Structure 1
Amino acid sequence: MKPIYTLFTLTWLALVASVQAGEPLDQARQTQSTIQQQGRTTQLQVERLADDTLEMRTETERLAQELENLQVYHDHLQALVKDQQRELADKQTQIDGIDTTRTGLVPLMYQMLADLKLRLADDLPIKAAQRRLRLTELSALMSRADVADAEKFRRLLEAYQIELEYGRKVAVYRDSISVNEGEPREVELLHLGRLTLLARNLDGSAYWRWHPQQKRWQTMDDHPAGELELAYRVASGQQVPQLMTVPVFVGEVQS
């Protein structure tokens, strides 16, 4: 309210000055009205400037906060860029070593493939058809340019893992065999790891065993059929594991 008092004071002084100067009353009133109008205009301008000043101060504070946030974000991006540059340097080091790694990897893969073929030739014919097919596919895979060396190596390791499992498992499966070079017959095969490989016809009336030295199937007339039946029942999960007697060729055991 102080500006209004000041305005009235100025108006009163102007009016007194006008009367003292001998101005007519109407002209003094007109002068007073003009002064009051100018005072109101000036007051509005002052208030508008005060509002503008407040808005500018608020905007300045907002911009200062945004600037602070941008600085924090900039520092965050700088940290990310440094970390990405470190990762790129690591990747480049790995890329630089790929040629050296590949030089040793390719011969290793061919050696692994040769070892798998040798194992199949000397091993018990456990799932022989599947293993031959796997080796054929791996041999074809090695010469394919559209398959990465990493994938070839993974497939070879997978084949090695499967071969290791044959030596650890006790399993029964169906396949066909030829006895004494006769016609193939469907049988149930049982292998106890790589200790022994047995076969029986589907009605369980005849049993054979694989002779690893002679590379042929032999009739098992000299072994109790009950023990062989028990071995099949345990291997197929029809009976709980227990002590059983089966023929093995200790000298031919492979890991």
Structure 2
Amino acid sequence: MTSRALGFACMLMSGAAMASGLPQAEQNQQALQNAARDTQAQVDRLTEQQLNQQAELERVKEEINNLSVYRDHLKRLVDDQHRELASLDSQLAGIENTRSGLVPLMYNMLSDLEQAVEGDLPLKAQQRQARLADLNQMMGRADVADAEKFRRLLEAYQIEMEYGRRLGTYRDTLVLNGQDSREAEFLHLGRLALLARSLDGREYWVWQQGQWQPATDISTSVLAQAYGIAAGHQAPSLLTLPLSQEIQ
């Protein structure tokens, strides 16, 4: 009897112990689940952080690659600029050498032009002398570039060349015998013939042997016709005019 009672008591105690251990096991299970959830959350955060870092790394690599390409581009531009600067330096040196030879050339050109005008017919004498004076003044001006000076000299040469190609008339002062001066209408056939006519059309002169002489060897009608042709009032025709200098 006593042993049965003891066994029953043990069974009651064991059941009570098991009943008291169930809540603890549930707590432990819950704790494990919470820990697992926290661990998974941490893993997810670490994974996301790693993915973000990987994306940032790729972006940085791409930026480095773009900067490398841009650096190479800039290097090519700088190398090209260096070549351009070297070329400009060479050109500037050439310009200085050209300028050192250009200035004496221009003075020689001006001197030759003065001699040509001095030894030529007194064709548009006032205009030509005024042009030479302007050129001489221009050569001494620092505010006029050498290129412009050279252009003006070439222009003067071109004008002188045109005088020898055209038939034309103009008004100027006629000086007779070095004393008597009057307004007259001049006609030139290139540099072959230079005539003068009084404004009333009654008197004619021809430049010969370095002076003005009366044009008595040719009729006034032929001379008047020549003036009409030169002025464009008559159709061109074959004329015989006194020459002011011999044909070489």
Flag whether TM exceeds 0.5 (same fold): yes
2:43 match: 42
1:110 and 1:78 mapped to 2: Cα distance?
A: 42
Q: Check whether the contact 2:206–2:244 (CA below 8 A) recurs between aligned residues.
A: no
1:111 and 1:98 mapped to 2: Cα distance?
A: 14
Question: Alpha-carbon deviations, 1:11-47, whole Å to 9, x = none?
Answer: xxxxxxxxx9994313422331232133123213212
Structure 1 position 248 matched with structure 2 position 233 = no
2:34 and 2:50 mapped to 1: Cα distance?
A: 24
The structure that has the greater radius of gyration is 2
Gaps of 5+ in 2: 1-20
1:32 match: 33
Change (3 A) 1:29 1:241: farther
Once the two structures are TM-superposed, the CA of residue 110 in structure 1 deviates from its matched residue by: 4.7
Any idea what SS the aligned residue of 2:176 has? coil
Structure 1 position 224 matched with structure 2 position 219 = yes
2:85 and 2:56 mapped to 1: Cα distance?
A: 43
Q: Check whether the contact 2:192–2:244 (CA below 8 A) recurs between aligned residues.
A: yes
Identity of aligned residues (%): 36
Structure 1 position 204 matched with structure 2 position 205 = no
Question: Alpha-carbon deviations, 1:194-215, whole Å to 9, x = none?
Answer: 011112233433322222x141
Any idea what SS the aligned residue of 1:84 has? helix
1:238 to 223, 228, 233: 233
Aligned pairs (5 A) from 1:13-32: 23-32=24-33
2:170 match: 173
Gaps of 5+ in 1: 1-19
1:115 match: 112
Once the two structures are TM-superposed, the CA of residue 64 in structure 1 deviates from its matched residue by: 0.4
Aligned pairs (5 A) from 1:102-141: 106=104, 109-141=106-138
Question: Alpha-carbon deviations, 1:201-244, whole Å to 9, x = none?
Answer: 33433322222x1412x233442333223322332333443322
2:12 match: none
Change (3 A) 1:112 1:89: closer
